[in-house]
Homo-oligomer: A and B are copies of this chain.
Amino acid sequence: MEDLKAASPSRLREIIRKGEFTGPTAGLAAGYAQANLVILPEELAFEFMLFIHRNPKPCPVLDVTDPGDPEPKLTAPGADIRQDLPKYRIYERGKLTAEVTNILKYWREDFVAFLIGCSFTFEAAFLKAGIPVRHIEEKKNVPMFITNIQCKEAGRFKGPMVVSMRPIPGRLIPKAVEITSRYKAVHGSPIHIGHPQSIGIKDINSPDFGDAVTIRKGELPVFWACGVTPQAVAMETKPSIMITHSPGHMFITDIKNEQLAEYY
């Protein structure tokens, strides 16, 4: 059995393209950035581009393809966005209608693919720096919450910001802020520290997505803008068709995590 954690991004994408791996990608091709995927028809692309430009923290875009072109040239030359992710979700008018392992038969000449940075990148940096990542320790999904912070609107796209939460000991919070402020391309510094209520979160133990995690004594909840935001906001417009990765089944880029620290 080949060690997928040590695989190069192009090798891993090749294995996925052949249909030999269809699972979640956390920890695979270690050291390389993974990305969220949103595919929309060109008719919505400019407005979505405006939305992500106006909301860089929840929507740190790494790459946008030319209409009809399945190759993400900036982040993974030679890759094919239609078959290099292990699992995709098809949404029609806002409803999930299929989950598939490639989207060749759905592809259209007016499709534009948006690759959006993912917090796996800064979590790897946290672990190196000795900052605990509770949901990894507890083998759970990161807890995510819908806040009362409204994103800046753009055309048909509007809605609240979704955040992820990581409990961090008070003495390590400054380090966590320093590290993530270097990673603008994967959500950047936190958007809030310490008071869930003040951003509209009623119960820190009941996340809207993902799993609750333990907050230990001396720790505070720290909140980062989350890549679920652009998907949720796009869904609200009920586009005739929209394709995303399945949760946890990300696109593997050729960009090293460390490169993203200076991506902009």
Task: Report A's interface with B, CB cutoff 8 A.
Answer: 42, 45-46, 49-50, 53-54, 56, 61, 64, 66, 73-74, 152, 154-155, 184, 188, 264
Contact = CB atoms under 8 A, between A and B. Distances in A.
Contact of A154 (B46, B66, B184): B66
Contacts of A56: 264
Q: Which of A42, A49, A155 has the most CB of B within 10 A?
A: A49
Nearest to A46: B46
B74 A54 contact: yes
A8 B54 CA distance: 24
Given A45-B46, A53-B61, A188-B264, 8 more contacts: A42-B46, A49-B53, A50-B66, A54-B64, A56-B264, A66-B154, A66-B155, A264-B264
State how many copies of this chain the complex holds: 2
16 contacts: A42-B46, A45-B46, A49-B49, A49-B50, A49-B53, A50-B66, A53-B61, A54-B64, A56-B264, A66-B154, A66-B155, A73-B152, A74-B152, A184-B184, A188-B264, A264-B264
